[in-house]
């Protein structure tokens, strides 16, 4: 397979516009695209107290950043040490997570894409089969493969720098392990887009392509925060994440627990109750 030009190929682009993949989530589109924009409760246009912008150091997460991230994800965030990419209004687009979580778990996915408009649009690309096309190109295009490997190395370097800045230090369990399928495959476009947004254009070629491909729904030069997440009430406080010591068995060296369905769990509960009754009778 010869080298193909960068950018989305006509077949995938046509499919995206003609018919969204079955079951793919619709992007959360901003309101007010036609005519005057409505009042946006999610924007951060005004400087925060004590700063000369959204944050004096735009990479350092503020309390408001963490609140917004929790609302964007629908769960409380944890171990976020930097905000490497922001909307033009100041809201987070990507969160940088400590390479070792506070519970001791090594965490290789450093750049986590959080903005609902972008994550939803990228999901459409995945559902339309873009990752398969990219994987085919990586096999047949040596230049693209070399650039993708360089993106992998850049990811590792960025993670080491973040670990140093945050005081985490080296995490030998994930040495050489990046994310998203790098350096040889594409397994998660959200990871690649998060990396491209954090690192800037020209670092991750396939992440850059994916960003170009979602231009129908999101672009860097405008704010899409209005209505993209719930701003009413308190931020989510219940952590439903599976990223604990059980989440990465190959890295932490112990198996993940067996997850039972409701019927199995009910049977186990009934058996335990029966055993307790028998023991009491004896």
C-alpha span between 158 and 179 (Å, rounded):
12
The continuous run of DSSP H or E covering 97 comes out as strand 92-97
The pairing of strands 80-86 and 111-113 is: unpaired
Six-digit token string for 209: 């392509």
User: Per-domain residue ranges for the chain?
Assistant: 10-28+40-232, 247-282
Dist CA 241 CA 103 (whole Å): 13
Does the pLDDT of residue 202 top 50, yes or no?
yes
**CA dist 265 → 22, 216, 279 (Å):** 32, 45, 21
pLDDT surpasses 50 at 17 = no
246 or 228, which is more confident? 228
Is there a contact between 206 and 194 (Cβ–Cβ < 8 Å)? no
The confidence score (pLDDT) of residue 37 equals: 39
**Does the global pTM surpass 0.95?**
no
Top mean pLDDT of 20-29, 52-61, 244-253 is at 52-61
Can you read off the two tokens belonging to residue 16?
Answer: 């995206």
The mean per-residue pLDDT over the stretch 203-229 comes to 97
Q: Which residues pair with residue 95 across a beta bridge?
A: 112
Half-sphere exposure of 158 (CA within 13 A, CB side): 26
> Can you tell me the distance from the alpha carbon of 278 to that of 193, in angstroms, rounded to the nearest whole number?
57
Question: Residue 234 has what pLDDT?
Answer: 83
Look up residue 235 and give its DSSP letter: P
Over residues 145-165, the mean pLDDT reads 97
Phi first, then psi: give them for residue 93, nearest 5 degrees: -110, -35
Burial 240-255 (b: 16+ CB within 10 A, else e): eeebebeebeebbeee
Helix, strand, or coil here: 81? strand
The pLDDT tens digits for 99-137 are 999 999 999 999 999 999 999 999 999 999 999 999 999
Residue in the structure block whose two tokens are 């976020």: 80
């Amino acid at each position: 397979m010869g080298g193909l030009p960068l950018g989305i190929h006509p077949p995938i682009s046509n499919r995206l516009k003609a018919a969204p993949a079955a079951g793919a989530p619709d992007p959360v589109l901003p309101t007010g695209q036609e005519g005057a924009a409505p009042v946006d409760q999610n924007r951060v246009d005004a400087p925060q107290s004590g700063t000369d912008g959204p944050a004096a150091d735009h990479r350092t997460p503020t309390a408001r950043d963490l609140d917004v991230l929790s609302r964007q994800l629908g769960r409380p965030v944890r171990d976020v040490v930097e905000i490497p990419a922001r909307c033009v209004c100041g809201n987070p687009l990507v969160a940088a997570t400590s390479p070792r979580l506070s519970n001791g778990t090594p965490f290789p996915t450093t750049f986590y894409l959080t903005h609902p408009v972008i994550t939803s649009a990228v999901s459409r690309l995945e559902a339309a089969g873009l990752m398969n096309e990219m994987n085919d190109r990586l096999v047949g295009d040596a230049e693209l493969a070399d650039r993708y490997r360089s993106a992998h190395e850049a990811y590792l370097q960025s993670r080491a720098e973040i670990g140093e800045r945050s005081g985490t230090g080296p995490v030998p369990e994930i040495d050489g392990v990046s994310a998203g399928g790098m350096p040889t495959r594409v397994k998660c476009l959200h990871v690649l887009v998060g990396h491209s947004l954090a690192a800037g254009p020209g670092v991750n070629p396939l992440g850059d392509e994916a960003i170009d491909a979602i231009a129908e729904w999101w672009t860097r030069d405008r704010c899409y925060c209005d209505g993209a997440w719930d701003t009413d009430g308190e931020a989510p406080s219940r952590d439903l994440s599976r990223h604990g010591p059980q989440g990465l068995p190959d890295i932490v060296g112990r198996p993940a627990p067996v997850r039972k369905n409701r019927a199995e769990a009910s049977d186990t509960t009934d058996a335990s109750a029966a055993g307790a009754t028998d023991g009491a009778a004896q």
